[in-house]
Amino acid sequence: MRRVAILGSTGSIGVQALDVLGRFPGRFQVVALAAGRNVERAAAQVRAFRPRLVAMSDPRAAAALRALVPAGTEVLEGDDGVVSAAVQPDVDFVLAAIAGGAGLRSTAAAVEAGKTIGLANKESLVLAGELLVRLAAERGATILPVDSEHSAVHQALQGHNRGEVRRLLLTASGGPLRGVAAGELAAVTPERALKHPNWSMGDKITIDSATLMNKGLEVIEARWLFDVEPRRIDIVVHPESIVHSMVEYIDGSVVAQLGVSDMRGPISYALAWPERLPLDLPPLDLARLGRLTFEPPDPARFPAYTLAYRALELGGTAPAVLSGADEAAVEAFLQKRCLFTDIAELCAGALERHAVEPLRSVAQALEASEWGKREAVRRVK
């Protein structure tokens, strides 16, 4: 029996993870849940899974939830409550799925507690990857990727010699604006940018997919997850989203992981690793698909992903600044306070103005991210 804590249980990844867990009641027990302010959904999850502990980062949501859950369920509040859910002694596996920099503290706490972590919060490694990887080695924690691309790389590495890896190939759908001409991008509305062709995700990650910033952040994540230099991590646009990523070895062989576009696949892989769970997902019908296409990303139209390579080159606090600036820029775009094409420019400006420091602590990474947010907001104003 694997005992699980879900951080971000009311979000897209959390909901899908609970869907998987609900299919295997004999293999998993949900011990703790953590969410933000969606009281109605959290209450429904408590009724369905009977966790011992629930944390709501919003104190008012926690107060409302207490009136809706059974007497034996402990309800905590605030960031400290979320961290407590991540470090419960009887939890074996922590799914870190709180979006943005807000998930770093609880992820770092789970790493320090030596847990097995299914990481769906890429910002944790973007902000503080060097620190978390070192801490995981010291504490005996295991970090398993849940992003479909990094899960694919993890799967393609199994049974092979890591020293024989030539490069990683992260695939990108190209997002909803792949075919839009450069001159038309400034006029793109949030409504149009949110119409992803293949995936159903939250607003922020969908806009990041449209700008290709999401892929840049995944390059930073891959650099720390797999200990591969940035120059050996490439991006290839693959509109069908069937090949989720590839690993090329020194003899020219390429191992790819393919599957239908459903996040329950990589979620279940992390939950049960090193085993696999039998899921009722539709089989992959390559004959019906007919063809799989690939093309290089276009840095002239979508320069955002190139900023991730620049941030890794600068090192230290630079990736955290980039992540924070992107959060603020995407929020400004969704609120129609800046243009779609401004997102990359705002992030580049913040990165250029930042005085990079060596990264020494989680608190410093969070402050660097907040600095990036403030700088992007200042530039919008």
pLDDT tens profile 49-103: 999 999 999 999 999 999 999 988 999 999 999 999 999 999 999 999 998 888 9
> What is the separation of C-alpha 309 from the centre of its chain, rounded to a whole number of angstroms?
18
CA 186 to centroid of chain Cα atoms: 27
First to last CA, the chain: 53
Domain ranges of the chain: 2-145, 150-261+282-380
pLDDT of 247 reads 98
Of the candidates 48, 330, 362, the residue with the CA atom closest to the CA atom of residue 206: 330
Cα distances (Å, whole numbers) of residue 20 to 10, 11, 25, 377: 14, 14, 10, 39
Return the CATH number of the domain spanning residue range 2-145.
3.40.50.720
CA separation for the pair 381, 335 (Å, rounded): 13
- Residue 200: pLDDT band (50, 70, 90) is low
The per-residue b/e assignment along 228-265, b for 16 or more CB within 10 angstroms, e otherwise, is bebeebebbbbbbbbbbbbbbbeeeeebbbebebbbbb
pLDDT at 199: 64
Q: What percent of the chain has pLDDT over 70?
A: 99
Common-topology check for domains 2-145 and 150-261+282-380: no
- 186 pLDDT more than 90: yes
User: In 3D, which of 151, 162, 165, 150 has the Cα closest to residue 252?
Assistant: 165
Task: Give per-residue pLDDT as tens, 234-275.
Answer: 999 999 999 999 999 999 999 999 999 899 999 999 999 999
> Can you read off the two tokens belonging to residue 280?
């009722």
- Phi, psi values for residue 89, rounded to 5°: -60, -30
Q: Is the pTM of this model over 0.95?
A: no
- Ranges 130-134, 148-152, 176-180: which has the least confidence: 176-180
Name the fold adopted by 150-261+282-380: Rna Polymerase Sigma Factor; Chain: A (1.10.1740)
Burial of 156 (0-12, 13-18, 19+ CB in 10 A): buried
